[in-house]
Structure 1
Amino acid sequence: MDTRKCIAALIYPDFMSLDVVGPLQVFASANAERNRQGLGDAYRVLLLGEQVGPVNSSSGMRLLADASWADCDPSTLDTLLIPGGAGETLQCENLALLDWLRRAEPQIRRLGSVCSGALILARTGLLDGQRVTTHWADVDSLREHAQLQVDADCLHTFDPADSRAAHLFTSAGVTAGIDLALALVEADLGRSMALAVARRLVMFLRRPGGQAQFSALLAPEPSRTPRLAELLAWIPGNLGGDLSLEALAEQARLTPRTLSRVFAKELGTGPARYVERIRLEAARALLQDAQASISTVARLTGFGHPENLRRVFHKHLSVSPLEYAERFGREIHHA
């Protein structure tokens, strides 16, 4: 009897190859680690397409679908991962696929998405009422599903301690799918195995799902924020100055109350939180490029004292400024 857990990934035209290959390599590497320890494989991997045969990814790389999802017995699958990619939009309108996912969900132990695959899963309605995430560039699209609790500041939502989040889950962009797969391996085979796989893949460490996405906070297109466009362009050049609600309102020629209302409507966040994230992004860029000491970075970006900078880094990124600089930057002065 085959006791291996079947880890399946959906593939469709113009899927993101890394969303599939990255996570599946984690499970394959777990098998390699077990073999090195004299143990048998824990997993087998399966690619599901609309039909058997080659499927083009957005990179032009082709992967071979082992089976058709329409003909697949969901009860034979332990885990099914849905990747993102340029072809995700068409799959969101693939009624046959959405219906199959709805029928398959109760029979699969774990059903999750990588990157913008969350948009496909969201269209099924299975994620309604649940905390979800996706690639930072697709967060606004995910927020169009009012029934979802969108968390843009995490790598994945898998939580083995929560029965629902252990069954249905999402992850952020590309490499976050690897973090998700490592979390699934840890839930199956233990932390030591997950860390061994991370070492085998030469990953710095296994990042917890609650850690924020290390991604740029890009200013929205002016057409999307007509009343705030000038203010949003002004803020990054004035990070060391007074960016209180009152100062921002004066710059925007609005009352503080109106400014807060416009921020909520056009950006889905408040002025203070937006400024904090812009300051954080600027601090990250300075630390990555080793352009200044941590105390200087805190001053230049408007945090004032290094302790304020440390609190914000832990709040959003779950690491200290020094740890971030050591991990992602070049040599940095501590002073």
Structure 2
Amino acid sequence: MDAPRTIASLIYPDVMSLDVTGPLQVFASANVERQRQGLPPAYHLQLLADESGPVRTSAGFQLVADGSWRERAADSLDTLLIPGGLGEAAQCQNQALLTWLRDSEPRIRRLGSICSGALILAATGLLDGRRATTHWADAETLRLGYPQVEVLADCLHTYDPKDHGGSAHLFTSAGVTAGIDLALALVEADQGRPMALAVARRLVMFLRRPGGQAQFSALLTPEPSRVPRLTALLEWIPLNLGSDLSLEALANQAHMTPRTLSRLFAQELGMSPGRYVERVRLEAARLLLQDAQASIATVARLTGFGHPENLRRSFHKHLAISPQDYLQRFGQPIQEPLHA
């Protein structure tokens, strides 16, 4: 019997608790699924900090470190995850930690970050010349602070088990839920797709938002006080996804010139109107598929993508997954055909 792989997460003062517990729960749930199949656990989970003992998270409660990274042999770790949090900036100045990470990197099979933990990895220099992602709110900080890093702000994670350029060894992920996606990808690489799907179904069933209401992410629905001149338009767009949402149509709805509207979107939202519309449509399509409210072809029509192929391209571009695979992983079964 193979010994369980050790999956460790770094913790530090003011770490984001979900960046730690979300991904680790995926590995723990994989152990539970294996137990149901009469198999031994595949993973041994640990928390590492400056020293063993309690560490206060940004939420105010404490996590307890099993040991110190200072005393841990790097080659005993299969996977080490670096989470983000309010305390990330202090860790970017923690020279002892940065040196340990640089020295340990060649001896750890997989080294990755969750959310703004990418900034800690970037501070070591290990991401220089590599593609990396992080939470959308930290993407510009990563881009400006570490110009040698190729920042992919729209990417869920950069892990690729088939990539021989290093993405199977050193990788990053976006915010909390993207960290869970990353952990599922790691489990899939270790134990196969059926196990990853079993874990995903169990976790998503538990974490699903009640009521099936259409909720858009903070990126897509800014506080009205931040964008007062765009508030009415931003509230109108999700209600009219199947309509003409070209720049000219949006400008007409907002009673502005196309040039003025484009300038406001760039200033207030950091993106063009067209890109914003695509992201809202993608989020709506994702939620419809997640709740299995319609077939892929119908979802493409309702959300303004028109043809399923347009929906597929947008899913691959922003989520690195096809609508069919997303539905298989996260959706509930429906009665009508799923193929276009």
Superposition TM-score, scaled by structure 2 size? 0.72
Please list every run of 5 or more consecutive structure 1 residues that lacks an aligned counterpart in the other structure: 206-213, 329-335
Please state whether the residue corresponding to 2:101 is helix, strand or coil: helix
| 8 Å CA contact retained: 2:58, 2:85 | yes
Partner residue of 1:190?
A: 192
Please state whether the residue corresponding to 1:203 is helix, strand or coil: helix
Determine which of 319, 323, 327 is the counterpart of 1:319: 323
| 8 Å CA contact retained: 2:220, 2:279 | no
Instruction: Determine the C-alpha separation between the residues in 1 that align with 2:185 and 2:289.
Output: 28
Partner residue of 1:333?
A: none
- Percent identical among aligned pairs is 63
Instruction: Determine the C-alpha separation between the residues in 2 that align with 1:248 and 1:111.
Output: 44
Amino acid at match of 2:6: C
Instruction: Determine the C-alpha separation between the residues in 1 that align with 2:287 and 2:196.
Output: 30
| 8 Å CA contact retained: 1:231, 1:252 | no
Amino acid at match of 1:174: V
Aligned length in residues: 314
Partner residue of 2:234?
A: 236
Instruction: Determine the C-alpha separation between the residues in 1 that align with 2:197 and 2:298.
Output: 35
Q: Note the aligned Cα RMSD (angstroms).
A: 4.4
- What is the Cα deviation at residue 140 of structure 1? 2.4
Instruction: Determine the C-alpha separation between the residues in 2 that align with 1:37 and 1:66.
Output: 29
Partner residue of 1:149?
A: 150
Matches within 5 A, 1:81-96: 81-96=81-96
Matches within 5 A, 1:161-240: 161-163=162-164, 164-199=166-201, 201-203=202-204, 215-218=217-220, 232-233=230-231, 235-236=233-234, 239=237
Instruction: Determine the C-alpha separation between the residues in 2 that align with 1:162 and 1:175.
Output: 23
| 8 Å CA contact retained: 1:7, 1:46 | yes
Deviation sequence 1:67-108 (CA, Å, 0-9, x none): 111121111111100111121121122122112111111111
Between stretches 267-276 and 67-76, larger displacement belongs to 267-276
Partner residue of 1:66?
A: 66
| 8 Å CA contact retained: 2:289, 2:331 | no
Amino acid at match of 1:32: V
1:111 aligns with 2:108: no
Partner residue of 1:331?
A: none
Deviation sequence 1:210-262 (CA, Å, 0-9, x none): xxxx73434779999xxxx677557536656876557889976696xx99799
Instruction: Determine the C-alpha separation between the residues in 1 that align with 2:246 and 2:68.
Output: 56
Instruction: Determine the C-alpha separation between the residues in 2 that align with 1:297 and 1:109.
Output: 40
- What is the Cα deviation at residue 32 of structure 1? 3.0
Superposition TM-score, scaled by structure 1 size? 0.72
| 8 Å CA contact retained: 1:217, 1:278 | no
1:12 aligns with 2:12: yes
| 8 Å CA contact retained: 2:247, 2:258 | no
Instruction: Determine the C-alpha separation between the residues in 1 that align with 2:147 and 2:223.
Output: 22
Please list every run of 5 or more consecutive structure 2 residues that lacks an aligned counterpart in the other structure: 207-215, 333-340
Deviation sequence 1:278-328 (CA, Å, 0-9, x none): 565677789999xxxx99999998x495769846754545438x969x959
| 8 Å CA contact retained: 1:217, 1:277 | no
Shift in CA distance, 287/167, structure 1 to aligned 2, threshold 3 Å: closer
| 8 Å CA contact retained: 2:91, 2:97 | yes
Amino acid at match of 2:217: S
